[in-house]
């Protein structure tokens, strides 16, 4: 059970490391005023409340997963198995920061498509493929069977990024798949912007990337401001997805991001005089011999459409 702490808040139905149970709206009569639920494709937002649910005029249960906007008459009451949204804390629910599916190939029995579920563990989404689970242990991502633990068979990828491969049984050279890029060269207060970025979805028709630390993002912005009031579509590296509200620096207009540099590219004050770059379109993977192939699971992340208002 979890508490509602704000009268107007985003919620995700589904707790951490537990089986999700739908929430019965009539049980919240007098506490919950109205709730809006986004459709799976984001193209509709059906509304309900305890009264409408009781008379059968709208949906009765809040189903597992998905984003809900809840308006309450009071606070500090129990709503059930939920996670309340907080833009300042990575709860992994509200922002689409993870691919909807991850495909593992090249390995033995654990290969296949892992689809995102409504469950979470260590504040990261859990994926499922048959009898195999894909989950975050607090340090690295793990695939395991039969449970969400390391009691049976398991593989780890030695990374905080779900689509950063390979997954193997012992520490080895990390092979980064074609959906990841490397950023290097930043120093000073923005040195943390260096590192590996893997694709988490699509923003404005181009890939969006997230750093392994979860602090930084790269995406295609449609209106980066320039001198004279002109705006240009460009790549942006930022710690505020997916907008220009905090620390950010822009790039060029090529198919993939290359050099982030101010000047000449616009940026927030934090990046003035700073330069970082992507040395190549992808990070090359290590060469694996034929004898080693069965020990590795190469990762490809599925494209997830991110619908967001770009500020």
Where in the chain are the domains?
A: 2-84, 101-173+286-301, 180-277
Taking the model in full, what pTM does it have?
Answer: 0.53
Quick one: which of 101, 96, 293 has its CA closest to 202?
96
Kindly tell me if the per-residue pLDDT of 132 is higher than 50. Answer: yes
- Chain segment 32-63, per-residue pLDDT in tens: 999 988 765 455 678 999 999 899 888 898 88
Least confident of 152-156, 245-249, 300-304: 300-304
Percent of the chain with pLDDT over 90: 26
pLDDT of residue 49: 92
pLDDT of residue 224: 92
pLDDT of residue 273: 94
Average pLDDT over residues 121-127: 84
- Count other Cβ atoms within 10 Å, centred on residue 200: 27
Concatenate the DSSP letters of all residues of the chain into one string. -EEE--SEEEEEE--BSS---PEEGGGGTTTEEEEEE--TTSS---EE-HHHHHTTSS--EE-SSSEEEEEESSSSEEEESEEE--TTS--SSSS--S-SEEEEESSSTT-EEEEEEEEEETTEEEEEETTEEEEE-SSSEEEEESSSSSSSEEEE-SSSSTT---BBSS--PPPP-TTEEEEB---GGGGGG-EEEEEEEEETTEEEEEETTSS-EEEEEEEEE-GGG-EEEEEEEESSTTSSSSSEEE--SSSS--EEETTTS-B-GGGTT-EEE-SSSSPPPPP--GGGGGG-BEEEEPP-BPP----
Q: Is the dihedral of CA 70, 74, 80, 85 positive or negative?
A: positive
Pairwise CA distance, residues 70 & 72, whole Å:
6
Q: Is the dihedral of CA 273, 243, 210, 18 positive or negative?
A: positive
pLDDT-derived band at 94, boundaries 50, 70, 90 = very low
Structure tokens at 212: 């392994």
- Count other Cβ atoms within 10 Å, centred on residue 153: 15
pLDDT-derived band at 233, boundaries 50, 70, 90 = very high
Pairwise CA distance, residues 119 & 37, whole Å:
18
Quick one: which of 44, 26, 31 has its CA closest to 4?
31
């Amino acid at each position: 059970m979890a508490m509602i702490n704000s009268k107007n808040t985003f919620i995700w139905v589904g707790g951490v490391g537990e089986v999700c149970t739908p929430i019965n709206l009539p049980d919240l009569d007098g506490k919950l005023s109205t709730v809006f639920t986004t459709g799976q494709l984001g193209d509709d937002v059906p509304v309900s409340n305890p009264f409408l649910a009781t008379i059968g005029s709208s949906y009765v249960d809040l189903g597992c997963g998905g984003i809900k906007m809840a308006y309450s008459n009071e606070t500090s009451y129990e709503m059930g198995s939920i996670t309340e949204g907080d833009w300042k804390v990575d709860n992994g629910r509200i922002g689409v920061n993870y691919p909807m599916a991850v495909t593992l190939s090249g390995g033995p029995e654990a290969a296949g498509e892992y689809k995102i579920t409504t469950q979470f563990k260590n504040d990261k989404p859990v994926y499922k493929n048959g009898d195999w689970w894909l989950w975050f242990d607090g340090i690295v991502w793990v695939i395991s069977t039969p449970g969400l633990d390391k009691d049976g068979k398991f593989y780890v990828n030695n990374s905080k990024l779900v689509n950063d491969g390979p997954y193997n049984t012992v520490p080895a050279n990390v092979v980064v798949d074609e959906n990841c890029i490397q950023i290097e060269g930043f120093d000073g207060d923005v040195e943390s912007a260096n590192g590996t970025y893997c694709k988490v979805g699509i923003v404005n028709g181009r890939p969006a990337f997230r750093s392994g630390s979860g602090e930084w993002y790269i995406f295609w912005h449609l209106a980066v401001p320039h001198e004279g009031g002109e705006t240009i579509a460009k790549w942006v590296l930022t710690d505020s997805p997916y907008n220009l509200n905090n620390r950010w620096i822009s790039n060029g207009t090529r198919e993939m991001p290359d050099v982030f540099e101010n000047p000449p590219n616009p940026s927030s004050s934090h990046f003035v005089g700073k330069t970082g770059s992507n040395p190549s379109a992808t990070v090359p993977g290590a060469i694996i011999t034929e004898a080693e192939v069965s020990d590795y699971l190469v990762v490809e992340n599925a494209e997830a459409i991110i619908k967001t208002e770009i500020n």
